[in-house]
Amino acid sequence: MRQSWRNVLPATWRSDILAGLSLAFTNVPQVLGYARIAAMPAVTGLYTVLLPLAGFALFGSSKHLVVAADSATAAILSGSLNALAPLGSAHYITLVSATALMVAALLLVARLFRLGFLADFLSRTVLIGFMTGVGLQIMIAMLHELLGVQTNAHNPIRQLAQTLANLHHANGASACIAAVTIGVILLLNRFRPRFPAALCVVTGSIVLSKYAGLSHFGISTLGPISGGLPHLQLPIIGWNEFVSLLPVAASCVFVIITQSAATSRSFATHFNETLDENRDLEGLWIANAAAAFSGTFTVNGSPTQTAMAVRSGARSQVAQLTFAAITLLVLLFFSAPLQYLPQCVLAAIVFTVAIGMVEVRALLAIRRESPGEFWLALTTAVVVLGAGVEQGILMAIALSLFRHVRHSYAPHTAVLQPFGATGALESVPAHGGLETQPGLIIFRFCADLFYANSARFSRDVLTLLNEAPHPVRCIVVECSPITDIDYSAAEDLRALLKNLNQRGVRMFFGRVSPELKADMNRHRLVGAIGAENLFEELHTALAAARQSIQAVATP
């Protein structure tokens, strides 16, 4: 037990325990809803906040992250495994638990190889788009239960079409109760964020269902829920099923690493705390192994539940351990009343969670600041909604990498020109017709040189050379953004230097870092450039270039 909670001063435990109580009252109904998203028995939602929650609390690094059932990973499971087994069947439950075990194994590998940096490969832009798509998908999936109509489609678009087509079969009582539930939760969350709105709605609907006989109005309920402790067992599946589950588990792992890391970082920054992301990976794999052996589904770091815990006053994982203890009491003594919970109320709770996942404000902010990134986020959301969560994950990763590669392929370039009375050099976006002074161009290329952009580097240099207002004698490359050159780029640079030599143009390199010079040595570029043309400072390179121009001009 290496978690920092052991070092928490007892004086802070009171606020943590109270926060844990508030977290339990608020989130017990929500984890039942997450179980519904995963198409698992309701009691398995409670299992996610028992052993898995305690596992991360004891072995993770973050003092605030709540690791439990999560809507994104739950949606991946139900959206990906429905083709392998009927949703909710015994075999489906086995597959879900086996997926959790595979997720634990992949997270263990990530921990051993210190792959916490993988969280950086999903940009915030596409992550917002992904979560928005998942939120819309869940809202559509819950819509037919809110209205009390039947659908048999799994694709969200088809689900929506079937729901709209069957509106004439809608149950008015279910729709009214669901609408009231959604309204009450949204209003209380808006004006009384610490108030356990979901718990009050659940309690009230259970009392109403039991004593007013809501089933007589055609309103379905959860039915009997088995209480008690989970039965620990190893999920056994065949080889073909293992192969089929591997991409599902990999998708879950990417979501877990990125979402958990983003959540942990934000709260660690807020409280000025240190964070060990690889230690968090250890806690996450232990939590998912506990989920697999206790017969429940994959768990993840939850941004909403973590925010709730912090708002309630939690400052350590003592709050999460309190949450687990309350869940244990519910499983042992209070599971029987849950059988009267109306399905439409549970669907309404899930619906409100999904509304919170659709980050309209964030999307509008992205659109204002970066329209290109807005379309990337929107594309990710559409793929999640139309093709599925797993495909959305792959699209999110691809778009994030594409955006990075595109920036490196077409980086900012500039020509440095003197401005003002002092003649200080300032950057001007590079284009034909610019020069620093007659006969001299200082060129800045804002990316490492590699196979995809080295031809662009050569083309930009030749364009500046050919379209300069005066004959160019020297080009100085300001190298501060360049730290690496690969083999292909080295060959292209060698060809460019040969071209410039034939035209009587000398190329200097200023602000050459030790790492860049080591790459130049490795690729045998120093001989082609000339060691006398490499400088650690820009001003010395500029002085050498001006001296060279003067020497050529002087007979």
**Domain boundaries defined on the chain:** 6-405, 411-553
* Helix (H), strand (E), coil (C) string for 135-181: HHHHHHHHHHHHHCCCCCCCCHHHHHHHHHHCHHHCCHHHHHHHHHH
DSSP-assigned states of every residue in 219-260:
--B------SPPPP------HHHHHHHHHHHHHHHHHHHHHH
Contact between residue 122 and residue 403 where contact means Cβ atoms under 8 Å apart: no
| Amino acid symbol at 367 | R
Report the distance separating Cα 289 and Cα 296, nearest Å. 10
Contact between residue 174 and residue 148 where contact means Cβ atoms under 8 Å apart: yes
CA distances from 236 to 39, 242, 404 (A): 20, 10, 41
**What pLDDT, on the 0 to 100 scale, is given for residue 5?**
47
Query: Across the chain, how many H-helices and E-strands are there?
Result: 22, 7
Which residues sit opposite 68 in a β-bridge?
300
- Architecture field, domain 411-553: 2-Layer Sandwich (3.30)
**What pLDDT, on the 0 to 100 scale, is given for residue 520?**
94
Q: Which of 454, 477, 481 is nearest to 538 (CA)?
A: 477
Report the distance separating Cα 497 and Cα 523, nearest Å. 14
Report the distance separating Cα 294 and Cα 97, nearest Å. 8
Report the distance separating Cα 112 and Cα 114, nearest Å. 6
Contact between residue 442 and residue 478 where contact means Cβ atoms under 8 Å apart: yes
Residue 321 neighbours by CB distance under 10 Å: 18
Residue 441 neighbours by CB distance under 10 Å: 25
The contacts of residue 423 (CB under 8 Å, 6+ apart) are none
Contact between residue 235 and residue 91 where contact means Cβ atoms under 8 Å apart: no
**What pLDDT, on the 0 to 100 scale, is given for residue 340?**
85
Residue 16 neighbours by CB distance under 10 Å: 24
Report the distance separating Cα 516 and Cα 495, nearest Å. 19
Give the total residue count for the chain.
555
> Beta strand pairing status for 424-429 and 413-419?
antiparallel
- Residue 425, SS3 per DSSP: strand
Q: Which of 306, 364, 358 is nearest to 131 (CA)?
A: 358
Low-confidence residues of the chain, pLDDT below 70? Answer: 1-11, 26, 118-122, 154, 194, 266, 269, 304, 389-390, 393, 553-555
Question: Would you say the pTM of this structure is higher than 0.75?
Answer: no
- Sign of the dihedral defined by the CA atoms of residues 142, 147, 150, 156, in that order: negative
Report the distance separating Cα 126 and Cα 142, nearest Å. 24
Report the distance separating Cα 459 and Cα 451, nearest Å. 14
Q: Which helix (H) or strand (E) holds 343?
A: helix 343-357
Distance of CA 547 to the CA centre of its chain: 53
> What angle, 0 to 180 degrees and rounded to 10, lies between the N-to-C axes of helices 360-369 and 371-387?
140
Q: Which helix (H) or strand (E) holds 162?
A: helix 156-165
Count Cβ neighbours within 10 Å for each residue of 142-165 and write b for 16 or more, e otherwise: bbbbbbbbebeeebbeebbebbee
